[in-house]
Amino acid sequence: MAQLDTREKLGILADAAKYDASCASSGTSKRNSVGGKGIGSTEGMGICHAYAPDGRCISLLKILLTNSCIFDCHYCINRKSSNVRRARFTAQEVVNLTLAFYKRNYIEGLFLSSGIIASSNYTMEQLVEVARSLREDHDFRGYIHLKTIPDADPELVQKAGLYADRVSINVELPTAPGLKRLAPEKSVGQIEGAMAGMKGAIEDGRDAKKKYKSAPSFAPAGQSTQMIVGADAATDSDIVAKASTLYDRFSLRRVYYSAFSPIPDASAVLPLQRPPLMREHRLYQSDWLMRFYGFKPDEVVSAAGDDGMLPLDIDPKLAWALKFREYFPVDVNKATKEQLLRVPGLGTKAVSRILSSRRFRTFTLDDVARLTVSVAKIRPFIVTSDWRPTLLTDKADLKRWIKPEKSQMELFAA
């Protein structure tokens, strides 16, 4: 590898990390350096949250230790057979960079991943060493997210949780045949075994903390994973079902979706085009339906078409409501929380406002309109003191009525 300076390495290794979507920093414990002890903080003041135009969080220093890899996953730009410029940081260089960026208030923490250098164990040791040095040598109290290597020694993988706020183990693809085809050196058994081990370690850590206040925190922001969308033939229904299984079995905090990006010199087994970014967005919306709106996975799946794909032109909650019109209209002044959460266009905050306010007043359509972005979307599905939709939910073309199709304006009309 040619000798590169730190700036050049940073250019290569920050760019190589952009394909990883799972870098959000929510849900960890609060730490700060009030009283002049330590350095950094996971709290709001002085932390800049920035988002790339495609919605990804960029407020962490998000880099790879190296983009060299001995594996050859077809979808990955850093795979062994890829013709990209390689670079590698030492653990000490990553520590220095993190501290330098943090002191300038550019970042709120570190998201560190890596290609597999010599072996999975060696790579994992290096990743853990960065986090160890930040925490123990520099008393760093900012956020650390480590991407772990599933086939490394389980003890090493779990050591990551001693220093990191969040750990993630990428499941990569939604189906076992997809993983076998596109990442032949990885296996579902290894990945899920590592997730199960981490789940156990997180639970043990929580139990210890309950018993002894002085017990060290273990991955307080839990574990997450990432699935690549659109690199194989898995449908949205497959993806939703897989995500739900992962949440249940491994108590994951988040499942992130990353729309497959075509890469230079791509393998012939990959599609030539990236899936629409809207597909990734619809999957995130379906994830919210399960986590915050009380939808069961099979209900989300039932919003998909016969091809197993969620519609791209409308959100999954509206798609579900249009298919299951017998549940509507819902009386805003009487309905249960569960019923209100099913109304397209009513978010969790709006539902809370309705529930807390309706003890003192009766909601009109205008009152509901003030709680939502589009009253046109809601009207067919609700009853208020001054509004009752007349057979609107029976309209065959209800979807077009709610969301008129866009047409190109006539440019040269008389």
Q: Residue 32, exposed/middle/buried by CB under 10 A (0-12, 13-18, 19+)?
A: middle
Dump strand ranges (E) for 83-189. Answer: 109-113, 143-147, 166-168
> Which CB, 190 or 385, lies closer to ligand SF4?
190
Rounded to whole angstroms, the Cα distance separating 341 from 299 reads 14
Four-residue CA torsion sign, 164, 57, 257, 251: positive
Q: Of 66-74, 198-206, 251-259, 395-403, which part binds ligand SF4 (CB under 6 A)?
A: 66-74
Rounded to whole angstroms, the Cα distance separating 67 from 186 reads 18
> Which CB, 78 or 286, lies closer to ligand SF4?
78
> Which CB, 182 or 239, lies closer to ligand SF4?
182
69 touches ligand SF4 (CB under 6 A): yes
Considering only CA atoms, which of 61, 53, 60 is closest in space to residue 26?
Answer: 60
Q: Residue 232, exposed/middle/buried by CB under 10 A (0-12, 13-18, 19+)?
A: buried
Q: Of 31-39, 67-75, 191-199, 355-363, which part binds ligand SF4 (CB under 6 A)?
A: 67-75
Residues in contact with ligand SF4, total (CB under 6 A)?
9
71 touches ligand SF4 (CB under 6 A): yes
Considering only CA atoms, which of 348, 296, 286 is closest in space to residue 317?
Answer: 286
CB of 115 to ligand SF4, least distance (A): 4
78 touches ligand SF4 (CB under 6 A): yes
Site string for ligand SF4, 179-218 (x = CB under 6 A): ----x-----------------------------------
Strands 254-259 and 330-331: unpaired
57 touches ligand SF4 (CB under 6 A): no
74 touches ligand SF4 (CB under 6 A): no
> Which CB, 182 or 219, lies closer to ligand SF4?
182
Rounded to whole angstroms, the Cα distance separating 344 from 317 reads 6
Are the C-beta atoms of residues 393 and 325 closer than 8 Å to each other? yes
> Which CB, 25 or 120, lies closer to ligand SF4?
120
73 touches ligand SF4 (CB under 6 A): yes
> Which CB, 73 or 350, lies closer to ligand SF4?
73
150 touches ligand SF4 (CB under 6 A): no
76 touches ligand SF4 (CB under 6 A): yes
Rounded to whole angstroms, the Cα distance separating 229 from 182 reads 13
CB of 88 to ligand SF4, least distance (A): 13
Which residues inside 106-145 make contact with ligand SF4, applying CB under 6 A? 115-116
Q: Contact with ligand SF4 (CB under 6 A): which of 9, 31, 62, 79?
A: 79
CB of 31 to ligand SF4, least distance (A): 30
- List 111's β-bridge partners, or say none: 62, 145
12 touches ligand SF4 (CB under 6 A): no
Q: Of 68-76, 83-91, 131-139, 273-281, which part binds ligand SF4 (CB under 6 A)?
A: 68-76
What separation in angstroms does the CA of 393 have from each of 286, 341, 343, 382, 383?
23, 18, 12, 10, 12
Q: What share of the chain is helix, strand, coil (3-state, %, to 5)?
A: 40, 10, 50
CB of 385 to ligand SF4, least distance (A): 57
**One-letter amino acid of 330:** V
What separation in angstroms does the CA of 395 have from each of 77, 306, 390?
49, 21, 10
In the complex, which residues of this chain contact ligand SF4 (CB under 6 A)? Answer: 69, 71, 73, 76, 78-79, 115-116, 183
